[in-house]
Amino acid sequence: MANIMYWEAIQRAHDEEMTNDPLVICMGEDIGVAGGTYKATKGLFDKFGPERVIDTPISENGYTGVGIGASFIGIRPIIEIMSVNFAWLAMDQIFNSAAKVRYMSGGQLEAPVVIRSPGGTAHQLGAQHSARMENVFMGIAGLRVVTPSTPKQAYGLLKAAVRCNDPVFIYEHELMYNMKGDVPDAEFFHPLEGSEVVRSGKDLTLFGYNISVHWSLQAADILSKNHGIEAEVVDLFSLSPLDRAGIAASVSKTHRAVIVEESEAPVGVGSEVMAIINEECFFDLDAAPVRVSSANVPQPYNHTLEKATIPGPDDVVNAVVKMMGKA
């Protein structure tokens, strides 16, 4: 096992997949000479050269379209969009081209393209650089959406996505790039579908993804120590498709659910998970499902206000205590 940072795991996956297949390329702003804004492509330009590690102009719609078009003829691009906020500019290419080409061509064309992008609230980046857009990508039929919560997942999901013949959007969190974790020394491919029980419990289930998995784990420790409540924590690393069977299995076991997300509540991951719970295991519930989410406002730049809009472990604990009637 290697104990490495999240960005190092992503860089390693790039390196291995580009070494394995000369048709794997990467594209994006500052990914070449500069090594990427978050160092996820560090060293690749020197190793593979400018024809395979392509520094692009600041034109998300343009270079995303070029990469998607290249995937139609067998190239396997890994496209980095520097911030998920800028992915709005590439939505036509992602939505109307990559996600639909197999259907529109009757299976004659595929789009084996990977689009990586960081999002979430970092530190005082302001409303236009703090978006959480996972709910938008989840709503695109034909697009897989995954979101790693650990370096191991970041490594394995990227490698699996590169080998997949479907378009895959990988949503990373800006605050997690320096997070450390164990990654197998041997080559490892993480499933692109499913969920993972990362902490077993009997009293309720906390559902999270990327950074909110860590809030949920911290909350579960506090609940066990201070309140005698044993929470199960489920990592929803696949947002599209969501693991209906895994969600239902955990709720049927614990009979209560709290969905934890950094994103705003309306039309979000929590909404969809609640719908699945109601459809799959309504009669197993001992309490109505609850969401812990950010305030539905543009992200403030002011540090104090920024912190006030984002949930954390204490908010999860408070929601659970209220649900369990142990206040």
Longest dimension (CA), the chain: 61
Is residue 71 in a domain?
yes
Question: Catalytic residue positions?
Answer: 60, 129
Residue 1 binned pLDDT confidence (cut-offs 50, 70, 90): confident
pLDDT digits (tens, 9 = 90+) for 33-83: 999 999 999 999 999 999 999 999 999 999 999 999 999 999 999 999 999
Q: Which of 231, 227, 240 is nearest to 290 (CA)?
A: 231
Residue 123 binned pLDDT confidence (cut-offs 50, 70, 90): confident
The whole-number average pLDDT for the span 229-233 is 97
Q: Which of 208, 209, 193, 256 is nearest to 230 (CA)?
A: 256
Q: 145 with 208, same domain?
A: no
User: Which H or E run contains 91?
Assistant: helix 91-92
What gap in Å lies between CA 146 and CA 125, rounded to an integer? 24
The whole-number average pLDDT for the span 141-167 is 98
Is residue 191 in a domain?
no
Q: 113 with 231, same domain?
A: no
Q: 58 with 85, same domain?
A: yes
pLDDT digits (tens, 9 = 90+) for 8-37: 999 999 999 999 999 999 999 999 999 999
Q: 236 with 301, same domain?
A: yes
Q: 64 with 91, same domain?
A: yes
The whole-number average pLDDT for the span 213-219 is 98
* Torsion sign, CA atoms 311, 317, 320, 321: negative
pLDDT, position 129: 86
**What is the pTM (predicted TM-score) of this model?**
0.95
Q: Find out whether 270 and 219 touch, Cβ atoms under 8 Å.
A: no
Q: Which domain holds residue 91?
A: 2-183
Is residue 310 in a domain?
yes
Residue 326 binned pLDDT confidence (cut-offs 50, 70, 90): low
The whole-number average pLDDT for the span 89-95 is 96
Is residue 188 in a domain?
no
Q: 126 with 20, same domain?
A: yes
Q: Of 152, 183, 214, which residue is a domain's last?
A: 183
- Is the confidence at residue 325, as pLDDT, over 90? no
What gap in Å lies between CA 248 and CA 92, rounded to an integer? 34
The whole-number average pLDDT for the span 150-173 is 98
The whole-number average pLDDT for the span 152-174 is 98
CATH number for the domain including 242? Answer: 3.40.50.920
Is residue 138 in a domain?
yes
Q: 216 with 106, same domain?
A: no
Q: 28 with 167, same domain?
A: yes
Is residue 221 in a domain?
yes
What gap in Å lies between CA 272 and CA 267, rounded to an integer? 8
pLDDT, position 125: 83
CB atoms closer than 10 angstroms to residue 252? 15
Average per-residue pLDDT in the chain?
95
Q: 140 with 163, same domain?
A: yes
Q: 111 with 254, same domain?
A: no
Q: Helix 151-163 and helix 6-20: axis angle, to 10°?
A: 30
Q: 109 with 177, same domain?
A: yes
CATH number for the domain including 10? Answer: 3.40.50.970
The SS3 of residue 309 is helix
Q: Which of 189, 179, 219 is nearest to 201 (CA)?
A: 219
- Is the confidence at residue 327, as pLDDT, over 60? no
What gap in Å lies between CA 291 and CA 206, rounded to an integer? 10
